[in-house]
Amino acid sequence: MSLVFDIALCALILGVAAMALLGRGLFASLAFFIVYGLLIALAWLSLNAIDVALAEAAIGAGVTGVLLIGAWQALNAQSALDPDPVAHWITRVFAGLGCLAIGGLLALAILAMPGGTGLTTEVIDTQGQLDLGNSVTAVLLGFRAYDTLLESIVLLAALVAVWSLTPQGLWGGIPGPRHRTRPDGVMASFGRLLPPAGLIAGVYLVWAGSDAPGGAFQAGTVLAAAWILAVLAGLQDEPEVTSPLLRAALLIGPALFLLVGAVGAGFGGFLAYPEGFEKPVILAIEYALALSIAATLALLVAGPPRRPGGAR
């Protein structure tokens, strides 16, 4: 049964990928790409990689999808879209041959590998030292915490890059358009109904993340979705980009993480957690990170400031 499911899933993934690549309309391609992300999440699920599946669904399909559609909408509004984006057939043939060659070589290389489980046993044997039941969290916040620290700052760097594109004179303004919906419409009801549930789910995902699938990145995405939904429903406007509260939300996660790392560097070693307090410290970092990731993702979706702020 599972084999049948896997084969069907693989066929679906290939089919959807082909539709995303070969579709003539850009919007249709985007839609297929989002479906592709969800199917990939299913594939991770069937490989028992639940954390990866959550991240793929939330970020690969969810946030990326919103960003892509947002970009499409903005380009379409300016009539800046190429009506016939298909490249010359010679280019396409060469691109296809190149992909085929790389894909073939990759397949040969993977078949030639001895096959192994990587570091799975070492991780499981060592994660007890951090008092964590979830191997993924043990790797992300323990063994390779340095990578995660840098990753959380990469996200912030992306937001700074987006903000650097603010049109002249609008710094300190509000990102994104003002959304208005009918107060009794579907969107407004969703905007009221879902964010509280998202809030609880986000808090739970961090808490559960130490022993079960979950963690700061997944929780941050769920919280960001609640934020975006409230804005789309017109219930709450985005904050001004210079708002001190917003800055605090953006910085608290990376700043706390960095502080813990620096204190460690002063005493035992860079990013060495205080002995006996590994789990509470990791949880505190994860909660702060979830908040910062949520704020960063939501503002990435909103884009650079487009309207003057109210206070000015």
Region from 37-45, 80-88, 161-169, 295-303 binding another protein, contact rule CB under 8 A: 161-169
Distance from the first to the final alpha carbon of the chain: 63
Nearer to another protein (CB atom), residue 12 or residue 156: 156
Q: Of residues 54-73, which lie at the interface with another protein (CB under 8 A)?
A: none
Note whether 276 binds another protein by CB under 8 A. no
Q: How far is CA 123 from CA 42, 117, 126, 147, 182, in A?
A: 25, 11, 5, 16, 52
The neighbouring-strand residues paired with 305 are 175
- C-alpha 24/C-alpha 179 separation (Å) is 30
Binder among 94, 146, 204, 277 for another protein (CB under 8 A): 146
Q: Of residues 222-261, which lie at the interface with another protein (CB under 8 A)?
A: 242, 247-248, 250-251, 254-255, 258, 261
CB 238 within 8 A of CB 176: yes
Q: Of residues 117-136, which lie at the interface with another protein (CB under 8 A)?
A: 118-119, 122-123, 126
Residue 103: burial class (beta carbons within 10 Å; 0-12, 13-18, 19+): exposed
Token reading at 185:
């419409």
Closest alpha carbon to 285 in 206, 201, 202: 206
Q: How far is CA 109 from CA 37, 106, 114, 117, 153, in A?
A: 25, 5, 10, 17, 34
Nearer to another protein (CB atom), residue 37 or residue 198: 37
Binder among 27, 144, 179, 234 for another protein (CB under 8 A): 144
Closest alpha carbon to 81 in 16, 158, 29: 29
Note whether 105 binds another protein by CB under 8 A. yes
Least Å distance, CB 245 to another protein, is 12
Nearer to another protein (CB atom), residue 204 or residue 270: 270
Binder among 266, 276, 310, 311 for another protein (CB under 8 A): 266
CB 305 within 8 A of CB 171: yes
Least Å distance, CB 246 to another protein, is 11
Least Å distance, CB 146 to another protein, is 4
Note whether 310 binds another protein by CB under 8 A. no
The neighbouring-strand residues paired with 175 are 305
Least Å distance, CB 167 to another protein, is 8
Binder among 47, 99, 161, 193 for another protein (CB under 8 A): 161
CB 227 within 8 A of CB 202: no
Judged by the rule CB under 8 A, the positions of this chain that interact with another protein are 105-106, 108-110, 112-114, 116, 118-119, 122-123, 126, 142-147, 149-151, 153-154, 156-158, 160-161, 163-166, 168, 170-172, 242, 247-248, 250-251, 254-255, 258, 261-262, 264-266, 268-273, 304-305
